Amino acid sequence: MRLTFTITRFNPETDARPHEEDYRLEVGRGMTVLEALIRIKNEQDGSLSLRYSCRSAICGSCAMEINGAEKLACRTSVRKELERRGRITVAPLRNLPVIKDLVVDLSSFWDKIQEVTPWLSAPRQSHMAHPSSQMTLLPGSYRFHNVDACIMCGACVAACTAHEVSRAFLGPAALAKADRFMADPREPQAMKRARLGSLETEHGIWDCTRCNFCVEVCPKDVKPMEAIIRLRHAALEAGLVSTGGARHVIGFFRLIQRQGRLNEALMPLKVVGFSLMRLLHILPLGIRMWLKGKVPNPLAQPIVGIAQVRAIFASAQRPSKAS
């Protein structure tokens, strides 16, 4: 079968903007997109740049956008893509600077991995003095939730809606990596708390919009968003609430528990806290809402049936019998 591959090309040294080029190729049974790209490069256009190594979905270097979704080219079947979409388009990962064609600059990705301290922080240990006392990790004493399966391909970061609007966001891969060390029982609680303290500040765990795209595109089932939610739970339990995101969750929870409904007059106050600067910042919005009749009575009574709402909260907070 002869197919057209539409590939986004861009050389920042010579091109004003990216453009698409079509390549016709005879494709065989079981061919992957990576094999097709390598043949196009070898047989038709040696100037095409792409990154790959293992060809076995292990190294993470061939992540790119195939038919509009972030995928590993080495484990994406040409035939299945064609059946699903009726065409094959290939582009570099989104929201990362393009070095050339399908090769993106992952410097910021690696900087963020570095930022979350991707190693075990252990106290100065007796095992240095006594080499026989090792730090053991017994089976069943930990749950990494598959976050240790990450191959650092960058697909989740490219798909991330929070990263799209704020490049400073630590991002799904780095936060999943942080969760791996939070789950490690060998790290002392004080160090875990220090970890959480740096993750719950601006551009950290509360920037995630929970769009789930990182979960959808991850080729290794890491589920970064779920890792971020675990980190949020841990931060709240540790009383670390320095950002509006954390205060929003707590304020929302308490309002529903107390009144059975959201109160838009009180919610912004719960998010900004007692900061005069932040209060002044939201004041114009509050006035506009009030003028348009959008501010409910802050002293409104709880809804009818509040007892049932509170019973749901009590039930959700009770430890389950299984645990």
By a kind-dependent CB cut-off of 5 to 8 A, residue 58 interacts, out of ligand FES, ligand SF4, none, with ligand FES
DSSP letter (8 states) at residue 130 = S
Q: Report, in Å, the least distance between residue 133 CB and ligand SF4.
A: 34
Give which of 199, 195, 218 is closest to 208, Cα–Cα. 199
**Dist. CA 260–CA 307, nearest whole Å:** 9
Q: For ligand SF4, which stretch binds (CB under 6 A), given 100-108, 184-192, 219-227, 288-296?
A: 219-227
- Listed ranges 3-11, 149-157, 186-194, 253-261: which one lies at the site for ligand SF4 (CB under 6 A): 149-157
CA-based nearest residue to 89, from 75, 78, 105, 103: 78
Least distance from C-beta 55 to ligand FES, angstroms? 5
Q: Which residues contact 192 (CB under 8 A, 6 or more apart)?
A: 182, 234
* 262 makes contact with ligand FES (CB under 6 A): no
Question: Smallest Cα–Cα separation from 6: which of 112, 101, 108?
Answer: 101
Binding of ligand FES by 103 (CB under 6 A): no
Please pick, from the candidates 1, 58, 262, 280, the single residue that binds ligand FES as defined by CB under 6 A.
Answer: 58
222 binds ligand SF4 (CB under 6 A): yes
Contact 125, 135 (CB under 8 A): yes
208 binds, among ligand SF4, ligand FES, none (CB under 5 to 8 A by kind): ligand SF4
Q: Please identify which residue in the block is written with the tokens 């003028």.
A: 291
**Closer residue to ligand SF4 (CB): 25 or 162:** 162
Inter-residue contact 241 to 250 (CB < 8 Å): yes
Residue 52 touching ligand FES (CB under 6 A): yes
Residue 109 CA to residue 187 CA, distance in Å, equals 25
* Element housing 63 (H / E): strand 63-66
Task: Decide which of ligand FES, ligand SF4, none touches 235; Cβ closer than 5 to 8 Å per partner kind.
Answer: none
Site string (46-85) toward ligand SF4, x via CB under 6 A: --------------x-------------------------
The binder of 53, among ligand FES, ligand SF4, none, by C-beta within 5 to 8 A per type, is ligand FES
- Indicate the DSSP class of residue 220: T
In the complex, what is the shortest distance from the CB of residue 34 to ligand FES, in angstroms, rounded to a whole number? 6
Segment (H or E) for 189: helix 189-199
